[in-house]
């Protein structure tokens, strides 16, 4: 990772505060602002008007669409997709007359590898989205989301499972499902609440190639 415009592209209207770090191959479009402690991994993309606060870290290959503010407390692992105008929060009980600034007051939002968030969704702070979880457009997420779960609505509720490729998973009587696009196999836990892949290493390898 290097702070060098030879390694990445930033549009001239973007403001990259001294101390921010941008991984090689990343692209930063019009009117973005990276605060001093922001860190972007390699091959990230920030659409128009994206703000990345102090202390926010994006992994590799994170795609952020237009008009998103990533406030302090947000952590993104690799391959996360954040749709246009997604809203993050970091204080659960804000009051204009009660100062609640600083990390001691901020609640985290953790986006594990491969998470996708649809346009205009709101993520209430203090939640963790498991790997490859998918949030439908316009949803309000108020609770943790399990890996590979598809959630939508306000409040967001689970409506099935999606593969790492973004395809619906239909489990058979043995609690096994195959991604129709990649053939990758998935297993549903006995309590029907968790999905694991039969070979995550392969999925992760293809997602990063
Ligand atoms: C959630 C999503 C993946 C579709 O999931 P799905 O299970 O295939 O949903 P379907 O299209 O079969 O719709 C099933 C039902 O859910 C509803 N639904 C679908 N998406 C919804 C959403 N985001 N919020 C609320 N309800 C939704 C449909 O209206 C339908 O309702 P009905 O049964 O009363 O007719 C898709 O709608 C979505 O939100 N994608 C995100 C798109 C986006 O923001 N992209 C950003 C980059 S461009």
Please list, in sequence order, all residues whose beta carbon lies within 8 angstroms of the beta carbon of residue 145, skipping any fewer than 6 positions away.
Answer: 127, 128, 129, 130, 133, 135, 151, 156, 158
Do 148 and 196 sit in the same domain of this protein?
A: no
Do 152 and 88 sit in the same domain of this protein?
A: yes
If one residue of 133, 135, 151, 152 were mutated to test the ligand 1 pocket, choosing by the most ligand atoms within 8 A of its CB, it would be 152
Among 4-8, 9-13, 94-98, 125-129, the minimum mean pLDDT is found in: 4-8
Residue nearest to atom 45 of ligand 1 (CA): 118
Instruction: Tell how far the Cα of 152 is from the centroid of ligand 1, in angstroms.
Output: 7
If one residue of 47, 63, 136, 162 were mutated to test the ligand 1 pocket, choosing by the most ligand atoms within 8 A of its CB, it would be 136
User: Would the pLDDT of 62 be above 70?
Assistant: yes
Q: What is the pLDDT of residue 141?
A: 98
Q: Is the CB of 47 under 6 A from ligand 1?
A: no
Among 45-49, 52-56, 94-98, 123-127, the minimum mean pLDDT is found in: 94-98
User: Would the pLDDT of 209 be above 50?
Assistant: no
d(CA 195, CA 187): 6
User: Would the pLDDT of 48 be above 60?
Assistant: yes
Q: What is the pLDDT of residue 103?
A: 86
Q: Distances in Å between the alpha carbon of 83 and those of 62, 64, 135, 139? A: 11, 6, 10, 12
Q: Is the CB of 138 under 6 A from ligand 1?
A: yes
Q: Is the CB of 153 under 6 A from ligand 1?
A: yes
Instruction: Tell how far the Cα of 164 is from the centroid of ligand 1, in angstroms.
Output: 17
Do 118 and 195 sit in the same domain of this protein?
A: no
pTM reported for the whole predicted model? 0.93
Q: Which band of pLDDT confidence, cut at 50, 70 and 90, is reported for residue 201? A: low
Among 130-139, 174-183, 192-201, the minimum mean pLDDT is found in: 192-201
Residue carrying structure tokens 């947000």: 74
Q: What is the pLDDT of residue 203?
A: 52
Instruction: Tell how far the Cα of 99 is from the centroid of ligand 1, in angstroms.
Output: 38
Residue carrying structure tokens 């998973």: 169
Identify the domain boundary among 162, 182, 198: 162
Domain count, the chain: 2
More confident site: 21 or 100: 21
pLDDT in tens, 135-185: 999 999 999 999 999 999 999 999 999 999 999 999 999 999 999 999 999
Q: Which band of pLDDT confidence, cut at 50, 70 and 90, is reported for residue 2? A: very low
Do 184 and 203 sit in the same domain of this protein?
A: yes
Q: What is the pLDDT of residue 3?
A: 46
User: Would the pLDDT of 198 be above 80?
Assistant: no
Do 121 and 183 sit in the same domain of this protein?
A: no
Range of the domain at 156: 9-93+105-162
Do 109 and 190 sit in the same domain of this protein?
A: no
Instruction: Assess if residue 100 is contained within a domain.
Output: no
CATH number at residue 60: 2.160.10.10
Residue nearest to atom 8 of ligand 1 (CA): 168
Instruction: Assess if residue 37 is contained within a domain.
Output: yes
């Amino acid at each position: 990772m290097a702070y060098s415009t030879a390694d990445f592209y930033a549009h001239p209207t973007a403001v990259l505060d001294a101390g921010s770090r941008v991984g090689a191959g990343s692209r930063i479009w019009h009117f973005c602002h990276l605060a001093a402690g922001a860190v972007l991994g390699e091959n990230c993309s920030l659409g128009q008007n994206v703000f990345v606060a102090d202390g926010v870290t994006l992994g590799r290959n994170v795609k952020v669409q237009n008009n998103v503010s990533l406030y302090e407390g947000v952590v993104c692992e690799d391959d996360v997709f954040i749709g246009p105008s997604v809203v993050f929060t970091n204080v659960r009980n804000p009051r204009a007359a009660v100062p609640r600034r600083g990390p001691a007051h901020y609640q985290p939002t953790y986006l594990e590898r491969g998470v996708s968030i649809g346009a205009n969704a709101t993520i209430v702070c203090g939640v963790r989205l498991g790997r490859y979880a998918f949030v439908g457009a316009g949803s309000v997420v108020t609770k943790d989301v399990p890996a590979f779960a598809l959630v939508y609505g306000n409040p967001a509720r689970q409506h099935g499972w999606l593969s790492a490729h973004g395809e619906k998973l239909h489990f058979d009587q043995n609690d096994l499902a195959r991604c129709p696009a990649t053939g990758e196999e998935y297993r549903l836990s006995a309590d029907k609440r968790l999905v694991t892949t039969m070979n995550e290493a392969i999925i992760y390898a293809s997602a990063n190639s």
